[in-house]
Chain A
Amino acid sequence: MELQFGGTDALIILGAYAVLMIVIGWIAGRGKKLGKSVGEYYLAGRNLGFITLFFTLYATQYSGNTIVGYAPTAYREGFSWLQSIPFMTAIIGVYLIFAPRLYVIAKRAKFITPTDWISYRFESKRVTIVAILLMLWGLGNYLLEQLVAIGHAVSGLTAGAIPYGYAVIGFIVVMLIYEWLGGMRAVAVTDVLQGIILLIGIVVVLIGALALAGGSLSGVSETIASTEPQKIGVPDLQTNINWISMILLAGIGAAVYPHAVQRIYSARSERTLKRSFARMAWMPPITTGLVFVVGIICIVLYPGMDTGQSEQVIGILANDIAAMHPFYYWMMIIFFGGIVGAIVSTADSVLLSFSSMVSHDIYGKYINPNATDERKVKVGKFVGIIVVFLLLWIAWNPPGTLYQIFVLKFELLIQVAPCFLLGLYWKRLRATPVFWGMVIGATIAGVMTLTGNNTLYGIHGGIVGLIANFAVCVIGSLLMPVSEDYKKHIHSKTSLHDNGVQM
């Protein structure tokens, strides 16, 4: 849709924003030996402090979709979308299962990628390769989604002054420049800026929506109850099951995202990590919670929209808010700038994680095991360029019937969860069942999604696959004979005490 408040003013804001990100990237990387060490480039030297770690967790977990996608969902589904608060909070609960111990082991064994843990624990080429494929597939599709979203947001904001294609390429170039200049440090520091703008944007659009609705929320509930009672009543059983399934899917999926795991490795200390998580636990109510309220207000402001129209509801709302007063006009430009920033801040983290896995895991482990860190970083940088342009090509030339395979993200990524959640604590867990668990889980999730059966009695395909995956891991491991030596060997690797076991 065309935004009435954008145009030249938005161009100036976006231009300034792009320059600022590059400058931040340059400052973040200045004087550091970024190109010479994978730990420096991909994990910011394992030295992220509280503020940067908190904001990079925040800006990475909450993308532009949190606003542009969740407000229309609240509009369509009504009060049952309150689930967006607990499903973002549950991520911290899942982190609490594995992050404390993984942080200790990762620090000792100097992990760079999530795959490092998997190959360290299972010592199995096929487990490592399947995990890499699942994670890269999920990450690639996630990145593809972000790239498409950047184009729509920028072309909408500039009223077409920057066409969709140029917007995508422009922001990719900006992202690559600051990522090259500062690696993970640049990504984390720009996340501070992007996270703050996103938060301000959400608060401003809520104030604007409230102003449009007449200044208060009273009456909103009664109006919805009289016009669309199904959106405000207690939902049916299937929706309730779906609600709980969504908490599990998002909670587990977002916690084991490769870029999320790498943020555990990047923390300066345990204290920094736990403080960041403790604050993150409070972010859903003031992020997805406020976006939910905006979506609910829109039910009253713009009744009767179909699914396609409702996808545009944030743009329509922003147009109306901007028309109220010059103050709101500028606030809406900043708000959309915040959306662009939120998308970019997610895309940059995903891209860096993708590059690290290709260069460190595939190139460094299987193609050229003797490669120096400098060489791996270079390979990662070039892979980054190739990947984004390959994804762009796919985005602009979508394959006809198989387009659905580019929708699979969480469903596949989540299948590596047993490697972390069970692998850290259960010494009997063996590589063969883990391998088959991932294959079977991913197949179930993939087939369900590709055949259009996204849920089974309200339970998401990814969760159905994960239940099967866990079952295969547990039953398979119990059926396999295990020696005391094996148990001791795994114990020494997963112990909290330093037993001298290195990668």
Chain B
Amino acid sequence: MKEPIQKKWIWVGFVLLILFNAPWYLPEGMIEPYILGIPLWALISVGLSLILCAYLSWLCMTQWNLIEDEEEEEFEKERRQS
């Protein structure tokens, strides 16, 4: 059985990704350097957003399994019977 709420590291990661999404740690008004025509700070923020997407998507698929096996077994039984 896997339940996300039981695993502290999941929430430490989640909070850190949210906390560092806003560029408060960089000097106000900073624009340059540009990478591929986009300010570096914006690229960092987009990068962290994409990591957040990947992280949450991965958590859903790998860290959540409460009654899945039980349900799938039941569905399988129903399929066989019909």
State the A residues within 8 Å of B (CB).
79, 82-83, 85-86, 89-90, 92-93, 96-98, 100-101, 103-104, 107, 217-222, 225, 229-230, 232-237, 240-241, 243-244, 247-248, 269-271, 274-275, 277-279, 281-282, 284-285, 289, 425, 496
Contact = CB atoms under 8 A, between A and B. Distances in A.
Contacts of A85: 46, 49
A82 B26 CA distance: 16
B34 A221 contact: yes
Closest 7 CB pairs of A and B: A243-B22, A240-B24, A278-B60, A281-B57, A233-B29, A281-B56, A240-B22
A217 B37 contact: yes
Question: Could you say which of B17, B28, B48, B49 has the most chain A C-beta atoms within 10 Å of its C-beta?
Answer: B49
Q: Chain B interface mostly helix, strand, loop or mixed?
A: helix
Nearest to B68: A270
Contacts of B67: 104, 107, 270, 496
A217 B54 CA distance: 26
B1 A496 contact: yes
Interface in B1-59: 1, 3-5, 10, 14, 17-19, 21-24, 26-31, 34, 37-39, 41-42, 45-46, 48-50, 52-54, 56-59
A79 B38 CA distance: 10
Given A220-B37, A270-B67, A86 B52 contact: yes
Nearest to B41: A234
A269 B5 contact: no
A97 B5 contact: yes
A225 B30 CA distance: 10
Nearest to B34: A221
Contacts of B54: 281
Contact of B60 (A92, A219, A232): A92
Question: Could you say which of A103, A217, A271, A275 has the most chain B C-beta atoms within 10 Å of its C-beta?
Answer: A271
8 contacts: A79-B42, A90-B18, A101-B3, A229-B29, A233-B39, A240-B22, A244-B22, A270-B66
A269 B75 contact: yes
Contact of A96 (B37, B39, B50, B59): B59
Contacts of B29: 229-230, 233-234
Contacts of A285: 46, 49-50, 53
A100 B66 contact: yes
Contacts of B46: 82, 85, 285, 289
A93 B45 contact: no
B28 A235 contact: yes
A162 to B, nearest CB: 39
A285 B51 CA distance: 11
Contacts of A230: 29
A270 B71 contact: yes
B50 A269 contact: no
